[in-house]
Amino acid sequence: MEKVKKIVSWLLLIIYLMVSLTFIAAKRKEVKCEKIAVSVKDKKQNLFIGEKDVLSILKKKNEKIIGEPVESINVDRLEGYIRLHPSVKEANVYRDLNGQIKVSIEQRNPIVRVFNSRGESFYIDEEGMVMPLSYKYTAHVLVASGAINLSYSHIVAKQRAAAKQLASGGKVVQNSNHQLDDLFQLASYIYHDEFWNAQIEQVYVRGNEIQLIPRVGSHLIRLGTMENYTKKFRNLKALYEQGLPVTGWNNYKTINLKYTNQVICTKR
């Protein structure tokens, strides 16, 4: 008899839960959207996109959201629109039980600003993706200029094609640009190294040679090519820490690192 009571109790509980869930589901269909709540994770670091920009994107797409049943809103489609913004690294859109559409955004993080030989200027982010300048915010990052033959529109077209191919389950064919790869690799190395991030202000490309302009001192650093660049930086760091404090920061015109195992300094 006790066993039967337990079975009946469990059955009643299951029925109650099923009825409750059915009732909640019916109520959720009646809940209408009252607000679009946007949160940007890294807005203290970058200010490329905000709530007004997101609302503007959705308005341009003629999406009916406010006043519509929350359950009828296609959050996947909204995510797709927002992710197309060049400053957005990741976007997540979801519903809540209070009648809100929640938008969570992670911005791209630029590590170098490029001025190419075409008169264009754009950023490269920490993942090697190019992104345009913003009318509302300027990132204080490393600057690269000189003989940089990179077309912004061409790179963007290739990156979008690769993203679409990847999204469709296809294999992305690697067709890299050596100059873009070198700039990204160099900028990434400087950005993630606390010492060099504080020391190097600008990268200048002259022919096949990469030159560095420091924040302190009036010398020019001739890095040469990217071959063995980490070893060249180690040699330069030894000079910065042990040599220049003794000889003086303004006594040299150039510091040549072109040859991996040598540091050649030219006096003024």
Give the contacts of 78 (CB within 8 A, at least 6 positions apart).
58, 63, 65, 93, 101, 103
Tens-digit pLDDT profile for the chain (268 aa)? 666 556 656 665 665 556 555 545 555 567 888 889 999 987 667 889 989 999 999 989 888 888 888 888 899 999 999 998 889 999 999 988 788 899 999 999 999 999 999 999 999 999 999 999 988 889 999 999 999 999 998 888 888 787 777 666 666 555 568 999 999 999 999 999 999 999 999 999 998 899 999 998 889 999 999 999 999 999 999 988 888 877 777 788 999 999 878 888 888 7
Within a domain: residue 51?
yes
pLDDT at position 64: 84
Within a domain: residue 77?
yes
* Range of the structural domain that residue 71 is part of: 35-107
Query: For the CA atoms of 247, 251, 253, 257, what is the dihedral angle to 10 degrees?
Result: 0
Give the contacts of 148 (CB within 8 A, at least 6 positions apart).
114, 115, 116, 117, 179, 183, 205
How many domains does the structure of the chain reveal? 1
pLDDT at position 106: 93
Q: Compute and round to an integer the Cα radius of gyration of the chain.
A: 28
pLDDT at position 9: 61
Within a domain: residue 12?
no
Nearest-angstrom CA–CA distance, 43 and 237: 33
Within a domain: residue 65?
yes
pLDDT at position 183: 96
Q: Are 258 and 209 in contact (CB under 8 A)?
A: yes
| pTM, full prediction | 0.81
Within a domain: residue 122?
no
pLDDT at position 218: 85
What are φ and ψ of residue 84, in 5° steps?
A: -75, -15
Within a domain: residue 99?
yes
CATH of the domain at 91: 3.10.20.310
pLDDT at position 176: 66
Within a domain: residue 56?
yes
pLDDT at position 181: 94
Nearest-angstrom CA–CA distance, 94 and 79: 9
pLDDT at position 198: 95
Query: For the CA atoms of 42, 48, 50, 53, what is the dihedral angle to 10 degrees?
Result: -150
Within a domain: residue 41?
yes
